Structure 1
Amino acid sequence: MLRLAVWQCPSSPRDVAGNLARLADAAARAAAGGADVLVTPEMFVTGYDIGPVAGMAPDGEVFDAVASMTLESGVAIAYGYPELLPDGRVANAVQLVDDGRVVGAYRKTHMFGELDASRFAPGSDFPVFELRGHRVGLLICYDVEFPETVRALALAGASVVLAPTANMVPYELVSTVLVRARAYENGITVAYANYCGTEGAQVYAGLSTICGPDGRVRALAAAEGEALLIADAAGDPAPYLRDRRHDVY
């Protein structure tokens, strides 16, 4: 059974060194709670609503620091960061690292208005990865609001989706309704890690959550304040994937 840790925290814009120090502390706390993997908010390394941001190499200094944290804590980490692409553009990305190595990576597919479209190159793939004996997919924030994304991962065999996010007021229903629906309709666990507090023009909604494949909320943070949620990816999957008429659509 995979034990998930979701970290809700304030953004610390452009403070890469400080954010890595905070992440190391969160990983140690997640390890103390028996977690297998820790999920940060979207673009955690730099902050999200901070204007143009320079891209980072996926195998650069930030990766080296996170890789060391996974070795020291024994906890895998899915962290959000701006990925420098070969063509010079920047992607809003998440990288999953375990035991000092990259397990998987994903680039945000659905751009949330000009906030994303003006800065980031969209991704287009929904890969599934092996993490400690479990099939895991990655999404970022707005992606979860589209039924097709979680369904694509579920059909590819994922049993867990890890989703860094930067969901703001007044979209609280994403945490309380849509994330739960995505988990239930696909028989899959969704771990959704949001910011709290303010950043740039944003007031973040908090309400980070872990929802099980039976539609039950395993953990839910408050709208305000830092929180480290820990819950198992457990529950009997709903029967929709089994019973769907894939031959008619």
Structure 2
Amino acid sequence: MKVELAQLAGRDNGTAYNLERTLAAIAACAADTQLIVFPETHLMGFPSAETVAQVAEPLDGPTVTAVLNAVRERNIAVVVGVAENDHGHFYNTTLLITPEGIALKYRKTHLWASDRGVFSAGDRYATCEWNGVRVGLLICYDIEFPETARALAQLGAELLIVTNGNMDPYGPTHRTAIMARAQENQAFALMVNRVEDGDGELLFAGGSALVDPFGSLVFEAGRDEGTFSVELDLNQLTAARRDYRYLDDQRLRLPGEVIEHADGLRELMIPAT
């Protein structure tokens, strides 16, 4: 599987600029690319409590629609982060968009300090089948909690995709976490981070990465902008799970209702606390 990691700078509250760069990256992708992954909230940047109502859009709004049209034109798939407005409720959301539409939607469940007061937390984990691989999505701070990736693994995930907006000095934290999440769930993990500064306040750490199901780092980007092509050898999924399977041997399973949808979407609801 050929994937491009679009490690880009973005502008907070800068939807027009961010969308232009997203569409340019899609248009410029290689002919054999199957998937392009962008950072956390890439299409809108990070809104504040004061700007989120103006910046966030519904998923059938003009910005996501423009990306969907570009995806259909190139016949590829895209994973991209948005600030979602669901009838006045705001979420830090990542989408898997295919030529058929939005295949998977995930709302960030673990809110970082700067998310609080801006976004509401999601209430479920989900996976879907895409190109013969079961995919699950996570966002930034989520990967510091082992339960998030394990929830996706319980739903059959073979590829964990993390949209990231991680800043200094926490780059090494996510490097360690993404390798651990892949190894302990025997799944591929892709992480794409933002770079450069966010309006002079934060310095985003880059370090976008691909980790194989053994937990080995296959590719790691530096701190500069770029679109990086990686290839996933899906045979490694079978190899990593051949001699033992953590999911088969674990003594404790995460609670929550599993919902199976007719289209292959699987959801694990987070129990109320």
Fold-level match, TM-score > 0.5?
Answer: yes
Where do 1:22-41 residues align within 5 Å? 22-32=21-31, 34-41=32-39
Give the deviation of 1:223 after TM superposition.
2.3
Deviation by residue 1:84-114 (Cα, 9 ceiling, x = unmatched): 123x12100011110141101010000111x
Bigger mean CA deviation after superposition, 187-196 or 94-103: 94-103
> Is 1:61 matched up with 2:59?
no
Where do 1:62-211 residues align within 5 Å? 62-86=63-87, 88-113=88-113, 115-200=114-199, 201-211=201-211
Hey, what's the Cα distance between the residues in 2 that align with 1:60 and 1:17? 13
By relative contact order (CA 8 Å, sep 6+), the higher-ranking structure is 1
Give the deviation of 1:48 after TM superposition.
1.9
CA shift in 2, pair 1:248/1:152, >3 Å: closer
CA shift in 2, pair 1:245/1:102, >3 Å: closer
Give the deviation of 1:37 after TM superposition.
1.3
CA contact (8 A) 1:8 1:194 kept: yes
SS in structure 2 at match of 1:129: strand
Residue 260 of structure 2 corresponds to: none
CA RMSD of aligned residues (A): 2.0
- TM-score of the two chains, using structure 1 as the length reference: 0.91
What is the percentage of aligned positions where both structures have the same residue?
30
Query: How many matched pairs?
Result: 245
Give the deviation of 1:31 after TM superposition.
3.4
SS in structure 2 at match of 1:83: strand
> Is 1:245 matched up with 2:250?
yes
Unpaired runs of at least 5, structure 1: none
Hey, what's the Cα distance between the residues in 2 that align with 1:109 and 1:132? 26
Residue 44 of structure 2 corresponds to: 46
Hey, what's the Cα distance between the residues in 2 that align with 1:186 and 1:229? 24
CA contact (8 A) 2:47 2:118 kept: no
Residue 220 of structure 1 corresponds to: 220
Deviation by residue 1:30-61 (Cα, 9 ceiling, x = unmatched): 333x2221111011011126553232011111
SS in structure 2 at match of 1:7: strand
Hey, what's the Cα distance between the residues in 2 that align with 1:225 and 1:63? 23
Hey, what's the Cα distance between the residues in 1 that align with 2:207 and 2:72? 29
